[in-house]
Structure 1
């Protein structure tokens, strides 16, 4: 197990920490929860950098990295739904897209297909989600409208990934 993969596994442990803080009675719980979310984002950047820099990119890491990201985001959006900071419709759109990506990635991985590593569109989607989360968690009035723009962008990004996946695996046949 290399360091980038260990950092990815660490991100999985941050999910219950985030949820515990979000639903705690701390007076500044949103700041702490958002801080854990930022820590998860930082470790995502660091593990990707280290994996590429030291030629430690593995198929396991290619699969686990986006899974850690998706599960964290699902936990965050579930917490926002439960606390009524986002609508059920917005949460459903996010859950459907992210669960679809998780299931498709795992399905193809276990069938021996190559998965597409994160690209600039995926990274931009993540950054936009973090901005939306900041707006929502700290009660900005246009947070959900901004979120809907990010949701639409994320669906477009998913279609690009599917196209890239198809091209990648067709070349190997």
Structure 2
């Protein structure tokens, strides 16, 4: 296991998860604003660790494993908190779609890697757009719990639904890329 600056930034995202949860439940009128800042910081470290790993030629197998795990943990935990605080059906459905897709694609990637077909399901630009929409929606939803509540809540919900649509679209693309391998009757698991 090799640790470098990009890996430490990824680990920072994981460490920020309990910080975000603790802030979320603080009886303070700007607690969700602080959560939005923590989530935004996590999003920044997500971009920065990848950029630095490539720029400084510090990509590692451990970092490649840990980065998507950190992202998915942060997003899933935050979506669960948001749904728990505001059980709106649109937010709940969009959150279930996002979390379900992440589990499905992570499993698909693991299986494809196991059979030597990982390249078929590499991260796409649509996946990056989905992630960006998701991150922005979550920050706006967190902000909308403390400030400009009605306006930000509506914008955040619309963006989260949009990110759920992008999520399904990207999942379909990944499944289509894997379909020739998944439906090959001559291939043994």
TM-score by length of 1: 0.81
Bigger CA drift: 67-76 or 107-116?
107-116
Q: CA deviation at 1:164?
A: 5.5
Matched, 1:151 2:164: yes
Question: Matched residues in 1 for 2:158 and 2:67: separation?
Answer: 28
Matched, 1:96 2:109: no
Consecutive unaligned residues of structure 1, counting only runs of 5 or more, are: 168-173
Contact 2:98 2:164 in 1 (8 A): yes
Match of 1:171 in 2: none
Q: In 2 relative to 1, CA 59–161 (structure 1 residues): closer, same or farther, beyond 3 Å?
A: farther
Question: Matched residues in 1 for 2:32 and 2:51: separation?
Answer: 28
CA RMSD of aligned residues (A): 2.5
Match of 2:53 in 1: 51
How many residues end up aligned between the 2 structures? 167
Q: CA deviation at 1:162?
A: 4.5
Higher relative contact order (CA 8 A, sep 6+): 2
Consecutive unaligned residues of structure 2, counting only runs of 5 or more, are: 181-189
Q: CA deviation at 1:16?
A: 1.0
Partner SS, residue 29 of structure 2: coil
Match of 1:38 in 2: 40
| Rg (Cα) greater in structure | 2
TM-score by length of 2: 0.75
